[in-house]
């Protein structure tokens, strides 16, 4: 998505006159890219027309490329803004939170993640399994909760989820737990039985917050699904799961638009700590392929040995990125597993198929690096004649070398916005 949008804007730049026709072509291209990323048609239409308006308002002489890019960014962020904050648990009272969503969307997994998040903030959470529909539902919750030592409640014999929910909430409220999280059942399809059960559970436990959990890979179905849940429950917040997979993320915008509720967290993996507080800026950056610089830098810091960190942080902050640095970072990332998630955070890498990049592209980078002189390796750009020589010398192509040059350029440019704070930590990335 990012490359298609920047490509469209780039072409606009090469046009000698940016007339109405050139602008139309550019906006159409952006429209197609957004639709492919599963952003809902209605939303894309609104976005395109707003982008057009912000460009047309401009007097001649302004940098239209930058304006368009900025407008797309701001429009997407505005769409993720539900216009109202979500309920957040507060200390000194019993907070009841209920999770709803289709089967397999990640409710049970998310319950534990949510509980852990608030335990770190000093809450005393407990889980209630009100899913009597799926065989093994209670065992799954029990296992997850036991692993991280969070109290849980459920039953192997009771078949009425409302009875279990009521008993569980009462038990944990009496025991002075200040955050009670209610896991509910899903169905494969949106069925009346599911929505009726949700209504009964809400009536019986009176939750402070109902969270709609949505699998990010459902694509264009996001809108209808979110609408259906909102109609049957007072949804107050959204959690999007599995964004570590191949999902394109556009469905999240639909969920906010349909439920009129903010996204509060993202599920980024199967493990209990694979959970992020939702930040619209970072999310849109990733969606557009601009990279989540601060997030990337912090992830890298997690995997780089601490004695090497000051040097790394300094290099990042200087925007002083050489070819060798690029290769070393890829190597670091490859050695840690969770490749796709990390890659998506690096500017210029978001649109590369990670699996194939790993084996093919990276090998080529390494071969090219091996053909470089030391001086070249530690530099961040190459002249045309050197590109030619390296392509020949390494047995790759001019395109391959050029690609590597472009990656280093993008990384350097974007990393430069990073600031070091007094502790030597990385601050926020450059804003648009």
Q: Which residues bind ligand GDP (CB under 6 A)?
A: 101, 103-109, 186, 241-242, 244-245, 267-270, 274
242 contacts which partner out of Mg ion, ligand GDP, none, CB within 5 to 8 A by kind? Answer: ligand GDP
Is the CB of 127 or the CB of 226 nearer to Mg ion? Answer: 127
Q: In the complex with ligand GDP, which residue's Cβ is closer, 13 or 103?
A: 103
Q: C-beta of 134: minimal distance to Mg ion in Å? A: 6
**Residues of this chain, 101-130, that bind Mg ion according to CB under 5 A:** 107-108
Q: At its nearest, how many Å lie between ligand GDP and the CB of residue 268?
A: 6
Return the one option of ligand GDP, Mg ion, none that residue 394 interacts with (CB less than 5 to 8 A, by type).
Answer: none
Q: Closer to ligand GDP at the Cβ: 50 or 103?
A: 103
101 binds, among Mg ion, ligand GDP, none (CB under 5 to 8 A by kind): ligand GDP
Report the residue number whose CB is nearest to Mg ion: 108
Say whether residue 205 binds Mg ion (CB under 5 A).
no
Q: Considering only CA atoms, give the Rg of the chain.
A: 24
Given the complex with ligand GDP, which of 141 and 327 has the nearer CB atom?
141
Angle CA(30)–CA(34)–CA(37) in degrees, nearest 5?
145
Q: How many residues bind Mg ion (CB under 5 A)?
A: 2
Residue with Cβ nearer Mg ion (262 or 267): 267
379 binding partner (options ligand GDP, Mg ion, none; Cβ < 5 to 8 Å by kind):
none
Q: Are 104 and 215 in contact (CB under 8 A)?
A: yes
Q: How far is the CB of 145 from ligand GDP (least distance, A)?
A: 12
**What DSSP letter does each residue of 22-72 carry, written as one string?**
HHHHHHHHHHHHHHHTT--HHHHHHHHHHHHHHHHTSPTTS-HHHHHHHHH
**What length does the chain have?**
432
Of 48 and 108, nearer to Mg ion (C-beta) is 108
Residue 245 Cβ vs ligand GDP, minimum distance, rounded to whole Å:
6
| Binding partner of residue 85 among Mg ion, ligand GDP, none, CB cut-off 5 to 8 Å per kind | none
CB 334 → ligand GDP: shortest distance, Å? 19
DSSP bridge partners of 277: 265
Q: Spell out the SS3 assignment of 363-401.
A: HHHHHHHHHCCHHHHCCCCCCHHHHHHHHHHHCCCHHHH
Supply 263's token pair.
Answer: 């996204």
β-partners of residue 235 are 210
In 3D, which of 424, 404, 414, 407 has the Cα closest to residue 296? Answer: 414
Q: Which residues pair with 239 in a beta bridge?
A: 213, 265
In the complex, which residue's CB is closest to ligand GDP? 267
With CB under 5 to 8 Å by kind, the binding choice for 104 among ligand GDP, Mg ion, none is ligand GDP
Q: How far does Cα 36 stand from its chain's mean position?
A: 17
Closest separation in Å from C-beta 169 to Mg ion: 18
d(CA 173, CA 93): 9
In whole angstroms, give the CA distance from residue 310 to residue 315.
9
Beta-carbon count within 10 A of 78 CB: 14
Q: Do 305 and 22 meet the contact criterion of CB atoms below 8 Å apart?
A: no
Nearer to Mg ion, 136 or 424 (CB): 136
At 180, which helix (H) or strand (E)? strand 179-184
Which residue, 181 or 426, is less far from ligand GDP as judged by CB? 181
- Residue 251 interacts with, from Mg ion, ligand GDP, none (CB under 5-8 Å by kind): none
Determine the Cα–Cα distance for residues 142 and 128; give it in Å rounded to an integer: 10
Applying CB under 5 A, which residues contact Mg ion? 107-108
């Amino acid at each position: 998505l990012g490359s298609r949008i920047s490509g469209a804007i780039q072409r606009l730049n090469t046009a000698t006159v940016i007339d109405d026709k050139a602008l139309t072509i550019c906006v159409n291209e952006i429209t197609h890219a957004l639709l492919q990323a599963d952003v809902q048609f209605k939303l894309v239409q609104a976005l395109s027309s707003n982008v057009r308006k912000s460009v047309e308002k401009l007097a001649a002489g302004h940098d239209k490329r930058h304006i368009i890019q900025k407008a797309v960014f701001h429009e997407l962020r505005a769409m993720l803004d539900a216009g109202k904050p979500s309920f957040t648990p507060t200390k000194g009272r019993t907070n009841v939170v209920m999770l709803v969503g289709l089967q397999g969307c990640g409710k049970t997994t998310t319950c534990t993640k949510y509980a852990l998040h608030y335990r770190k903030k000093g809450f005393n959470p407990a889980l209630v399994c009100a899913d009597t529909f799926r065989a093994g539902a209670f065992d799954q919750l029990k296992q997850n909760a036991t692993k991280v030592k969070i109290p849980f409640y459920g039953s192997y014999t009771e078949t009425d989820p409302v009875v279990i929910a009521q008993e569980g909430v009462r038990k944990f409220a009496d025991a002075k737990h200040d955050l009670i999280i209610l896991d509910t059942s899903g169905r494969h399809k949106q069925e009346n039985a599911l929505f009726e059960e949700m209504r009964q559970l809400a009536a019986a436990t009176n939750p402070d917050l109902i969270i709609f959990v949505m699998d990010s890979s459902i694509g264009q179905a996001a809108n209808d699904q979110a609408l259906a849940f909102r109609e049957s429950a007072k949804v107050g917040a959204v959690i999007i799961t599995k964004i570590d997979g191949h999902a394109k993320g556009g469905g999240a915008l639909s969920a906010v638009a349909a439920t009129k509720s903010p996204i509060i967290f993202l599920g980024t993996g199967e493990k209990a700590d694979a959970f992020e507080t939702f930040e619209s800026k970072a999310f849109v950056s990733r969606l557009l392929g601009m990279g989540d610089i601060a997030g990337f830098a912090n992830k890298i810091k997690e995997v780089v040995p601490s004695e090497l960190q000051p040097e790394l942080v300094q290099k990042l902050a200087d925007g002083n990125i050489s070819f060798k640095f690029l290769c070393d970072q890829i190597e670091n990332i490859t050695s840690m597993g969770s490749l796709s998630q990390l890659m998506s955070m690096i500017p210029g890498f978001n649109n590369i198929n990670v699996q194939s990049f790993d084996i093919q592209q990276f090998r080529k980078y390494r071969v090219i690096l091996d053909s470089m002189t030391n001086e070249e390796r530690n530099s961040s750009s190459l002249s045309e004649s050197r590109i030619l020589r390296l392509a020949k010398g390494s047995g790759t192509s001019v395109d391959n070398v050029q690609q590597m040059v472009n990656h280093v350029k993008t990384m350097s440019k974007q990393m430069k916005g990073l600031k070091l704070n007094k502790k030597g930590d990385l601050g926020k990335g450059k804003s648009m």
